[in-house]
Amino acid sequence: MFGCNNTQKYLPITLSNDIFEVSVDNIKEKTPVFYAYNDNGKTIKFFVVRVNGKVRSYFDVCNSCKAKNLGYRTYEAGVECRACLIRIPYEELETGIGSCYPYHLKGEEKDGKYVISKEEILKANEYL
């Protein structure tokens, strides 16, 4: 997911009935998948990751470094803020607090899919 040119690869998404969904079988343990949604010319980035069997999603932005808009990259045990280089182990993402943790993006597992509503994705505007 992280290349030599220091840029994260984002998969573009489209919504169906204002819903984003991905098969939970496509989300591997501790292997985040980064996505980008275009909302009228504004790009909203987020990632989905499975940790200890549970699938969760997070906006690709942190509180203290959001002005730089660099997001996170992966390392072997977690994600790293590309602005301040703080490393966050996967196991601490869900409960982590602090200025460099990613904002949680509400989604849910339903019928073998991980589902996020457009309404939740657009909440990124509160953090950008």
Q: How confident is the model at residue 7 (pLDDT cuts 50, 70, 90)?
A: low
SS3 75: strand
Residue 95 is predicted with a pLDDT of: 82
Q: How confident is the model at residue 21 (pLDDT cuts 50, 70, 90)?
A: very high
Domain that holds residue 25: 11-126
- Amino acid symbol at 6: N
Q: Is residue 3 part of a domain?
A: no
Q: Is residue 23 part of a domain?
A: yes
For 63-93, write each residue's pLDDT tens digit. 788 888 899 999 999 999 999 899 999 999 9
Residue 3 is predicted with a pLDDT of: 40
Domain of 47, CATH number, reads: 2.102.10
Strand segments (E) across the chain: 11-12, 19-23, 33-39, 42-51, 54-62, 72-75, 78-81, 87-89, 102-105, 108-110, 113-117
Q: Is residue 75 part of a domain?
A: yes
Strand order in the sheet with 113-117: 19-23, 113-117, 108-110
Q: Give Cβ neighbours of residue 106 (< 8 Å, ≥ 6 apart).
A: 57, 116, 120, 123
Beta bridge partners of 117: 19
Least confident residue range of 1-10, 26-35, 54-63, 109-118: 1-10
Q: In the chain, how many domains are there?
A: 1
